[in-house]
Structures are given as C-alpha cells and as structure tokens.
Amino acid sequence: MALVQTIIWFLVALVILVAVHEFGHFYVARRCGVKVLRFSIGFGRVLWRRRDKQGTEYALAAIPLGGYVKMLDEREGDVPEEELHRAFNRKNVWQRIAIVAAGPVANFILAILLFWLLMIPGTREPIPIVGEVEPGSIAAQAGLEAGQEILAVDGEPTPTWQALHQQLLRRLGESGTIQFLVKYPGSDLQYMSQAPLDGWLRGAEEPDPVAGLGLTLDRPEPQAILGQIVPGSPAELAGLQSGDRILSVDGEVVSGWSEWVDYVRARPGEEIQMTVERDGGQASLSVTPETVEENGERFGRIGVGIQPQPWPEDRIRTYRYGPVESFVAGVDRTWETAGFVLLSVKKLVVGEISTKNLSGPITIAKVAGDSAESGWKSFVGFVALLSIFLGVFNLLPIPVLDGGHLMYYAIEVVKGSPVSDRAQQIGYQIGLVMVVGLMVLAFYNDIMRL
C-alpha cells in the first residue's frame, strides 16, 4: 500500500510540473501566432485525446515521464502556404526565444505561487543553537560551544535551521576559511570565529553539512508523555494510557523521554514500578518490558510511542507576512533556490561534490511519498523545489534542452543568421548523449540506494 501511495504522489507531482512547463510553451506560442498541433502530457500510447476549435489536439499518454508541445514547423513536415505565417520557424528570433523560455519561466512562476501559498499563514522554524561539539572537529577549531546561537555563516544570516543548512551546503567541496557569528544565551554580545576547510565533504554521498562540522543542533528534550499504545503490548497490559506522563521509575525522577526509553531498554524482563500523571492526578503502575533481540543486542520494550509536543516558543522563530510580503518572500525563496541549484551544478562539474548525489525517479518518488505523508505543506514545498530544479535544468545550455535552443538563438542574434542545420544536428546528438548519460547515472545511484 505504501508503494502504491508513493507512486501516486510521484505521478501527481510529475503531472503538475510537466503540465505547467508545457503550458508555458503552449500559451506563449499561441500569443505569438504559432499554430499548436498537439499538447501532450506523457509519451507513448495515447489514453485520451480531445481537439479544440483551433485544431490543437490535447492528449494524455501512457508514460507520464514528461510531455511536449508540437508546433507547426517547416522543418518537421510540409506546411500549406496559407499557414506559413503560423509556423514556428517563420517567427522572428525574439518570438522563438520567448516561446522556448516560457516553459522554464512557468516553472519558476509555479514555485513562486506555491511558496506564496505556504507563507501567507506565516512560518515557524527552529533557531539554530549548538548542542554538542565533537573534539577536534571544524566546529571545535572555530571555538563553537554548546548553547551558542549561530547568527551567521560567512556573513550570511542564519536565523533558522533551514537557513543554516542552506548556507553550509554552499560550502560543500570547498577549501579556505569558514566564518561563524555567534552569541551566548541571554547576551547581546556577538563573537566572530573561523576555521579552515580543505575540500570539505568532497566526495561524500548524501553529505550532512551540520554533522560535517562536527556538531549537533540542540533539540529541547521532550517530556515522557505517552502517545500511541500498541495493542496487546506490555504497556497496554500494565494499564498505561495515551497521555500519561511518566513522573518516576523505581523511585527515580524521570527528566525526559530519552531517559525513560534508556531505562526501559536496559531492563528486559524486569518489573518496573512507575508513577504517572493522569487527568490531573497520579497513579502507580508496574510494567515488565518484553525481551527483544536484534543484531545480537538484547533490550527491553513495552510498546509505546511518544506524544507529539510543541517546541518552547523561545526556541522558535516566527515570521508573519501579508499577501504582498508573502509574494515577495516567495520570489526571494525561488531566486535563492535557483541560485543554489546552479551552484550545485557547477560543483558537480568541477568535482567539488560527488556525482553520487545525483538522484533519479526512484529517489524523487520516495521523497514525494514521504513529503505527502508529512502533510500538504510538506508536499507543496517539495513540488515548489522540484519545479525550480526543472526550470533551472531546462535552462542549461545543452542541446535538446530549452537552454540549448536558447543558446542557438543567442548565437543567431549575435551573428545575424541562424546556426546551420548541420551544427544544430551535431549539437543535438551530443546533448542527447549527455542527457541520457545523466539519466543513467542518476538511475544507477537510485538502484544503489535501495
């Protein structure tokens, strides 16, 4: 069932992105007076089709891994003389540029609108506060200490976990110096520190930049409040209920969830006396953890989950936007993300990050399913990010992509005449090999992650 849901959400995301991209080409082509012969979502056998009054066929095909807009073009077949003025190749170079660029632009517009939708209610994100620092690590060399708030990295503000993560990702594979601006809790004094980088995390697969610094970000310890109780488990047999807060075990006060879990795991088969808080009062219970053996390890388990708990307000940064501010924030987010994607492409090309980080349809499908399971906001954010990636990727100057066509048109603008058909054909063959090679590498990476 989980696999089916993953596939469904992947197809939903893909169809949205492809439809928006191709609609961009379609809309601008019609505005420029080009006759559109077919608007197709997917490839292969046509499952559904409809034709409008202008002669355009709309189709859904069996393989939904892309789409296309077919326009009237003398290079692809005979065109009646009375319709020559509606052929794509007869339009001036600026109109052709507009039609080709419209697809990626539509993806960027979609991302802006989705971010706008997410930001209208406001956002809440954790503040980056240092938890533990590994001795001898980059963080230790920079003098970072537990409890410090990381205000900026390399001069760029990092008010949230996401901002910190994004800024650190920009330094992957680089050498030089990384700078931190920090402050201690309860103080307004700020301190600047730095540490050397030498090919930082170069070649790492799925690098974690925070862990790569040798630190963890502090998470408030959740209280030992029970959530789901597994039916038939020792917890249910002992009379534990969802919402119970564990106050003490065997006379020892329980300070948080981790301490409670460690206590239970260390006592397989041993009776534990507990005091719990329930409905404003207290109750005394006893439970005997069942014995579990996994990978040669023997530990106790009683069959309970933790109740979700909000973070303290002083550990959260809240942003509230009006409709206009939300739109501006969406534009900024789209611009920054597009720049980051371009930087990542550059780092892949020069070898600063590993090609093992390329992901194909299997990984994308998994992320689509996981984001949908996390809630609609997570899924919408995923679609926005994927839309930006699709837009940037299509603008790369590789023949067979939109960016390759735009490169040819830019040359035409400079030299005053189109690039020769032979030069274009050679470019398309090279571009096809490059794109297929990338797809094969990405798919291979997917398989190796299974």
- Nearest-angstrom CA–CA distance, 267 and 348: 49
CA 402 – CA 431 distance, rounded (Å): 11
22 is catalytic: yes
Is the Cβ–Cβ distance between 264 and 289 less than 8 Å?
A: yes
Measured between alpha carbons, how far is 22 from 113 in angstroms, rounded to an integer? Answer: 17
**Contact between 424 and 399 (Cβ < 8 Å):** yes
Element (H, E) at 49: strand 36-51
Give the residue among 54, 66, 63 at the shortest CA–CA distance from 19: 66
CA distance 373 to 380: 12
What's the CA gap between 240 and 233, in Å, rounded? 10
Bridge-based pairing of strands 130-133 and 149-153 is unpaired
Query: Is 142:171 a contact under the CB 8 Å cutoff?
Result: no
Angle between helix axes 323-350 and 93-119 (nearest 10 degrees) is 120
Q: Which of 22, 221, 271, 297 is catalytic?
A: 22
- Could you give the residue numbers annotated as active site? 22
